[in-house]
Amino acid sequence: MPDALPVELCRNVVEQYLGRSKASNRKVAIYFGSDEIDLLRNYEWGLDRVVLLEGLSLRVTGATIAKTRVFLAGDTGIGHVAAAVGTPVVTIAGPTDIVHTRPWGEGHQVIRTERPLDCMPCYETPLYGRCPYGQECMRAISSARIMQAICEVLNR
């Protein structure tokens, strides 16, 4: 998925989040839709506090997300589900026109790349899914910026 978080960026954020947490019962859930099952093995990191959830119904997904403190996503549909159930969302924006596609409501954070490329936004163009820059718009976002946004949401 071109607008999903790159695997290594996601792993760095998860490791930082779990490393900062003094609560050993804090967990991270990573959601996979039915069209993303082939990506699941890229997230099998052997971290005991990471739960991989696959193929859940929309109702169960929404109910599960509603119980989380913060939801991290690319500018994707599941981020909008999180916003709809009242969970604060940190959205990482790269290929989309985040001004028009961001989650609406209170308490959400949007992080945009600091390296705008000529092709941005590519969503709804022929370049979408065929990035000539290897998703640089997403990979240029640092895990430190993401963690800062997550901490700001959690500290509210």
Domain ranges of the chain: 7-151
Q: What is the pLDDT of residues 98-134, one digit of tens each?
A: 777 777 778 888 888 877 777 777 777 787 777 777 7
The single-letter DSSP state of residue 98 is H
Neighbours of 96 (CB within 10 A): 23
- CATH code for the structural domain at 7-151: 3.40.50.2000
Q: What is the pLDDT of residues 25-60, one digit of tens each?
A: 788 999 998 888 888 899 999 888 999 999 899 999
- Torsion angle in degrees (nearest 10) through CA of 10, 131, 121, 72: -10
Express the helix, strand and coil content of the chain in percent, nearest 5 each.
40, 15, 45
pTM: 0.84
